[in-house]
A and B are shown apart, each in its own frame.
Chain A
Amino acid sequence: MSELILKASALTVRTADRVLLYDASFRAESGRVFGIIGPSGGGKSTLLRCINRLNDLVPGLRVSGDIRLRGECIRTNDVNALRARIGMLFQQPVIFPTSIGENVLFGAKRLRSLTRSEASAVTESALREAALWDEIKDRLRQPATVLSVGQQQRLCLARALAVQPEVLLMDEPTSALDPRSTAAIEELILRLKTSHTILIVTHNIAQARRITDTLACVSIRDGVGQIVEQGEREQLLTSPQTPELCEYLHASDIHTGFTDE
């Protein structure tokens, strides 16, 4: 049973002289992973960053349109409270140059003051959720920079989860990772989707096939980025309707040598 969590309509992002994303509308439901694919420069990241209003931080970008999180317009709310409800993972894991434990609590500890035992409970459960606890439970005081890139990305996930968000945005979270770390993240996404609404940008069609339920293809049409096609994952991948998606899938097929794995 899935519930409508996020509904975007007529989302448009402009700079002073260009339209980066035009008239994007989509719906993301709980328990389902919403995938975003499309060629580089199409506007996938721009679209994702509308949802937690990260585009507001970029001077010169103007966002219009309507996004509702559980029916509430995201513009009316306090933006920092909104961002606490929406976690985000970036392409390169961004860890803060402090200890592993401090990193996990970076966002959580500002929402409410934690006692020492609460703090360690939050740390443990977030790290367990990110499947990192067993690897680093004895090293919480060490600098986070000693972790491998794959571990760092899971640490970022733990840090986002510690804030207890409902929605997770992931912008190509595995493109900097090796296959094993990628598999770990994918497994986590499949586990987390029962409790979170997940939107993920990916360049990897095989990955989209493995973890997404709904897909949207963002591509350039008439010189501006748009959602050219969206729907059920299998339907989009097996019988693409638009030339943009056909071309994108074809190009990825050639790129991966017609293999899936």
Chain B
Amino acid sequence: MTRAFSWLLSLGALAALALLLGVFAWQSGPVWQHEGAGYVTGGKWFFRQHEFGALPMICGSVVVALVALIMAAPLGLGAAVFIAEYLPRRSRLAVKMLVELLAGVPSVVYGLLGILLLRDWVYETFERFDPLSGDTLLTAGILLAVMVLPTVVTLADDALRAVPATQRRAARALGLTRAEAIWSVCLPQARRGIGAALLLSLGRALGETIAVFLVVGRQDNNLPVQLLGAGQTLTSKLGGSETNIAYGDPLHWGAMMGLGLLLLLLTGAVTLLGSLKGRRDA
């Protein structure tokens, strides 16, 4: 009974997902007809000339999200180990609550903080590389790192706490120090959960819109060859006013919906991978 019901639910979810993808695929039809594979490999986007190449934005999204992950992963893991293994239970719960609160702060707030604090800091710190402004891919990456950090911390902490206490106790009873027990017992056993935490955070970083929008510079047609340049991501492009302009023109609109489709596929794949990884852990 419950089995049949859960199958039904899964089927429903699958159908909804397929419908979503279907709508985006259908709406973006004109641009695929017009550009073919060049839509994802082309580097130029001039909508007045009806030229649509999404590569700079695909790369921008990936680069920005990876920068975020590379910074958030070690920090977040370190914090999770500290919270899960060193903090006494009560402070652990308090810290975790705070961290989860941070995860719930609206992203526009992070974006404003990015403008307020991060932009100038990036500009001044990297002045000798001569950036045009503080609005760069790197700025967006750092901001995203801050934003996904709470997610990494709280999920990795959950993964570590899921390692049975008996395992820790057995390791300590053998004479392993706490650090050795963490290193050779807890982290290996939590690695699936930690992997899932990182993938889910990557998915979140890829999909984040407004905070990136505010600090990435929104420079079209720039392949992200250097992090200290302004760039454009799938989300920052979609969040801009061009989307509203595009609506009247089927081809232009198709190009925008195509970006949506690519974003869906990218975040969907990463998130799916993450939850599959997490599931097998449990």
DSSP class of B's interface residues: helix, strand, loop or mixed? helix
Give every chain A residue within 8 A of B176 (Cβ-Cβ).
80, 106-107, 110
Asked if B226 is at the interface (CB within 8 A of a chain A CB), the reply is no
Nearest B residue (CB) for A59: B88
Interface-located stretch among A88-96, A117-125, A215-223, A240-248: A88-96
Determine whether the beta carbon of A54 is less than 8 Å from that of B175.
Answer: no
**How far is B222's CA from A189's CA once the two chains are assembled, in angstroms?**
73
Nearest B residue (CB) for A80: B175
Nearest B residue (CB) for A107: B174
Tell me the A61-86 residues at the B interface (CB within 8 Å): 80-84
Q: A83-B174, A97-B189 are in contact. Are A106 and B169 (CB under 8 A)?
A: no
Query: What is the size, in residues, of chain A's interface with B at 8 Å between Cβ atoms?
Result: 25
**How far is B170's CA from A87's CA once the two chains are assembled, in angstroms?**
10
Determine whether the beta carbon of A52 is less than 8 Å from that of B173.
Answer: yes
**Chain A's nearest CB lies how many Å from the CB of B91?**
11
Give every chain B residue within 8 A of A82 (Cβ-Cβ).
175
**How far is B25's CA from A108's CA once the two chains are assembled, in angstroms?**
59
Tell me the B150-177 residues at the A interface (CB within 8 Å): 166-177
Chain B interface (Cβ within 8 Å of chain A)? 88-89, 166-177, 180, 184-185, 188-189
Determine whether the beta carbon of A57 is less than 8 Å from that of B174.
Answer: no
Q: A59-B88, A97-B189 are in contact. Are A106 and B173 (CB under 8 A)?
A: no
Asked if A236 is at the interface (CB within 8 A of a chain B CB), the reply is no
Partner of A96, one of B88, B175, B185: B185
Determine whether the beta carbon of A84 is less than 8 Å from that of B174.
Answer: yes
**How far is B171's CA from A110's CA once the two chains are assembled, in angstroms?**
11
**Chain A's nearest CB lies how many Å from the CB of B219?**
49
Determine whether the beta carbon of A94 is less than 8 Å from that of B166.
Answer: yes
**How far is B173's CA from A160's CA once the two chains are assembled, in angstroms?**
9
Give every chain A residue within 8 A of B185 (Cβ-Cβ).
96
28 contacting pairs across A/B (C-beta < 8 A): A54-B169, A57-B168, A57-B172, A59-B89, A81-B175, A83-B173, A83-B174, A83-B175, A88-B170, A88-B173, A90-B169, A90-B170, A94-B166, A94-B167, A96-B167, A96-B170, A96-B171, A96-B185, A97-B188, A97-B189, A106-B171, A106-B174, A106-B184, A107-B174, A107-B176, A159-B174, A160-B174, A163-B174
Nearest A residue (CB) for B164: A94
Asked if A111 is at the interface (CB within 8 A of a chain B CB), the reply is yes
